[in-house]
Structure 1
């Protein structure tokens, strides 16, 4: 059952805590949603969750901090732009 009153920030905190990242782990929700949206529109809809998963894995391997997430997102955003221009 879903809780319609839960915000994305609250959900992110719950997920971060469940994953032992800590409930106060910084999550750039807007950036994640932007990457997912761009992948869904420029590639195909199922690319959104796959792309954000891969960004998260790459960022984790690069240290897992906010800057690592921004760098991985920038790489993917550039790839999405190339893909949409080529298509």
Structure 2
């Protein structure tokens, strides 16, 4: 188990979320895309919005892909 997995396990246990799967890679990809193509403070906010979407029933990978696509569109439209 790497440090990220360990941290996620510790946090989810503390919050009583032991039966959830955390899509760490997708969350980190969204944060990277938003931070690099939109603005840095948008990264954690976008990750939170991703969490809200998943809590409302969205597929994590699909929601993450949509957010990343928006961030990448923003980058190309600013060129």
TM-score (norm 1): 0.78
Q: What are structure 1's unaligned runs of at least 5 residues?
A: 1-5
Q: 1:22-79 CA deviation, whole Å, 9 max, x = no partner?
A: 0x6322222211110111000111111001000011111116xxxx211210110111
> How many residues are aligned here?
77
Q: What are structure 2's unaligned runs of at least 5 residues?
A: none
Q: 2:54 aligns to what SS in structure 1?
A: helix
Between the two structures, name the one with larger relative contact order (CA 8 Å, sep ≥ 6): 2
- CA RMSD across the alignment: 1.6
**Where does residue 13 of structure 1 map in the other structure?**
9
CA contact (8 A) 1:13 1:25 kept: no
Which shifted more, 9-18 or 47-56? 9-18
TM-score (norm 2): 0.85
